Amino acid sequence: MKQNYEKNPQKENISNGEEGKYEAIKPDGLKQSHILLQVALSSGDYTQEGSETLINPDREATIEKIKSGEADGGLAMFLLKIKTPIETEEDRNNPTTIFSSVRLSKQMCGFIADEVGGGLQKRDEVKPSDITKLVKHYPDPRDLEKQVRSYIKNIENDEQKKENEKEINKLLFLLYGERKAYADQIELLKNPPPKPEQRPEQKEMTSEGREEFDHFDAIATNRLDRPTIVQGRHGKIGFGTDEGINYPIKENQDGIVINTEKDAFAVVDAMGGMANGEQAKNSILEELQGGFQNNDSPQTIQKNAYENMKRSGVGSGGAAYVSGKIEGNTLKIAWAGDVRLIIVREGKVVYQTQDQSTPRGLWNAVTGTEAGNTKEEEQKLLRGYRILCASDGLWKNFTSEEVAEMVKGLSIEKALAVIEQKLREKMEADGKPDHRSLIIYDYEE
């Protein structure tokens, strides 16, 4: 399909960029500390590896220090690291250069060729000097980002648009390194996000948990690389679900349900490759959500899901799931299939459900022909226990023990980010692709 792109009227003068423009907006030490404060109080999307100080156990003390107006060069230092684009033709075959990564992506090369004046047909002729021209023309990464948006907007094919957006966002970080994150944080300084709502002083927990918590009752739609974190009755809950990496079934057939009022949660995974996987997933998600609200038993939820699938014509297709509900210091677990729940503490697995599957496939699930068997167990919880529920997209690539060690000593925010990153890297390399769903519940009482 033919694609039309906006013509950049400045392309003819692309080598005449103002190289000092970026320096003019670099804040001083005090402003840097304020930037870091906004980052610390935001969702965490802007934090990079260098800002790890903001999410360790001293996080609150760090925030108070910045609030008091103290500039901390150590905290701000990571923002000042800026990658230098390649400068010479000799860099073309150097595997450590930016160009060695750029030339492997037809989307990156297409954008660069279009920007420097050669047009898309010249994408195979992009040279290192073209990258240098591009960065000189756009010394501030935010200016190039605006041009990227314009370029992507004019791509007609949705799949091509999605792939180009993914690859060109990688290009921004290749070209500017942490300068891109720095520019994002400057925007936060100029337009700070609203301050988080101040919660009333927390009352002591009762057997029902906290009286103050986030009211969240929904089938989750956010991606694993953009996790949502809410306050439950007994601790923080973080979660995300997406279509995974390099998996042939493009529609996400995993799902997550969270109900903070009932302190209940579940992960669902449709039977990969079976007919009507999306319908099977939705049927059980809907019954789990309604079942949590009505305090239905797991057997009732599975029976209703089966009847829902049967009415919808799902047939032999179906889904596996695991659910948890916290009552006082007891976790009530129910499952059918190989969606796994584990409990960890200090890097060790203290409990895990047993997968109801063999190398040949599931031997228990909720389908359109039967409700399946309901396996139920209870576990006593101690302060500091971390509950993780995930579809087999995680467990096919890492053992429970590896995951427990992976998240040892990390905040829930960092734990979600680390698992997402390692799972993505594994799937992109030599791992087993699949959809990805993960819930982490940090029990605080």
Round to whole Å and give the CA distance between 198 and 212: 12
pLDDT over 50 (residue 436): yes
pLDDT band, very low/low/confident/very high, at 411 (cuts 50, 70, 90): very high
Tell me how far apart the alpha carbons of residues 443 and 329 are, in angstroms, rounded to a whole number: 9
Q: pLDDT (tens digit, 9 = 90+) per residue, 2-55?
A: 333 333 333 333 333 333 333 333 445 555 555 555 544 443 333 333 333 333
Report which DSSP code applies to 113. H
Of 127, 213, 111, nearest in space to 165 by CA: 111
C-alpha 68, offset from chain centre: 32
Residue 200: per-residue pLDDT? 40
pLDDT band for position 187 (50/70/90)? low
Going edge to edge, which strands form the sheet with 340-345? 228-231, 236-242, 436-442, 386-390, 340-345, 348-352
* C-alpha distances in Å from residue 331, one per residue of 127, 291, 324: 59, 17, 6
Q: Is 234 exposed, middle or buried (0-12, 13-18, 19+ CB in 10 A)?
A: buried
Phi-psi region of 245 (alpha: psi -120 to 50; beta: other; left: phi over 0): beta
Q: Which ranges in 91-127 belong to alpha helices (H)?
A: 98-102, 106-116
pLDDT of 142 reads 74
The answer, as to whether pTM is greater than 0.75, is no
Domains of the chain: 1-198 (no CATH), 217-442 (3.60.40.10)
- The Cα–Cα gap between 332 and 334 comes to 7
Token pair 């000799």 is at which residue?
A: 90
Amino acid at 420: E
Which is more confidently placed, 191 or 141? 141
Residue 101, CA distances (Å) to 149, 169, 435 in order? 21, 13, 27
Phi-psi region of 42 (alpha: psi -120 to 50; beta: other; left: phi over 0): beta
Model confidence at 224, pLDDT cuts 50, 70, 90, reads very high
Distance CA 177, CA 172 (A): 8
Q: What's the pLDDT at 320?
A: 95
Please give, one letter per residue, the 3-state secondary structure of 290-359: HHHHHCCCHHHHHHHHHHHHHHHCCCCCEEEEEEEEEECCEEEEEEECCCEEEEEECCEEEEECCCCEEC
* Of 35-44, 190-199, 270-279, highest mean pLDDT: 270-279
Q: Is the pLDDT of residue 220 over 50?
A: yes
Kindly report which listed range (78-87, 134-143, 280-289, 387-396) carries the lowest average pLDDT score: 78-87
Model pLDDT, residue 178:
53
What are the tokens at 173? Answer: 């970080």
How many Å separate Cα 136 from the centre of its chain? 32
Dihedral sign for Cα atoms in the order 21, 180, 110, 9: negative
pLDDT of residue 179: 57
Q: Is the pLDDT of residue 401 over 90?
A: yes
Give me the amino acid identity at 181. Answer: A
Residue 209: predicted pLDDT: 54
- The amino acid occupying position 286 is E
Mean pLDDT of 279-284: 90
Which segment of 24-33, 185-194, 385-394 scores lowest on mean pLDDT?
Answer: 24-33
SS3 435: coil
What pLDDT score does 274 carry? 63
Check residue 190 and give its pLDDT: 56
Give the C-alpha separation, 220 to 87, whole Å. 46
- Higher pLDDT pick, 140 / 300: 300
